[in-house]
Amino acid sequence: MKPKMLGRNLSDPHHAADRACAGLNTEVFFPDTITEAAEAVEICVQCPLLTRCAEWAARAGVTDGVFASVWVPGLGASTQDKNTARARLALVAATGLPYVEPSQEVA
Ligand code: SF4
């Protein structure tokens, strides 16, 4: 018996040719601070694979980097910061919209 198709592609999007980060310097996606993450976030916002990336990152339990517009802190971060990042990835996956820091929202 064949397994049922999920209807969504939850494979790692970082091998897909149409990702917005294709061919870019990967260092941009591994900033030391959330402030330095802005460049990567702007790239993710334009990515056609944003939702897939958020779903994959949430399932993979990624740490330390920018995925689907969300800065995920490293393993040494507080539990609260890790949980916040997980919640933001889930929000992006559920809505298909990039995560925008409240300070970056347009009034
Ligand atoms: S959402 Fe961002 S990190 Fe994910 S594949 Fe697209 S550009 Fe790359």
Nearest CA to ligand 1 atom 1: 68
Q: Please tell me the pTM assigned to this model.
A: 0.87
pLDDT beyond 80 at 22 = yes
Could you tell me the distance, in angstroms and rounded to a whole number, from the CA of residue 29 to the centre of ligand 1? Answer: 9
- Ligand 1 center to 104 CA (angstroms): 19
Which residues, 6+ apart, have CB-to-CB distance to 48 below 8 Å?
18, 19, 20
- Between the CA of 1 and the centroid of ligand 1 the distance, in Å, is 34
Among protein residues, the one with the nearest Cα to ligand 1's atom 3 is: 67
pLDDT tens, 66-101? Answer: 999 999 999 999 999 999 999 999 999 999 999 987
pLDDT at 2: 46
In 3D space, the residue among 22, 5, 4 whose CA is nearest the CA of residue 14 turns out to be 22
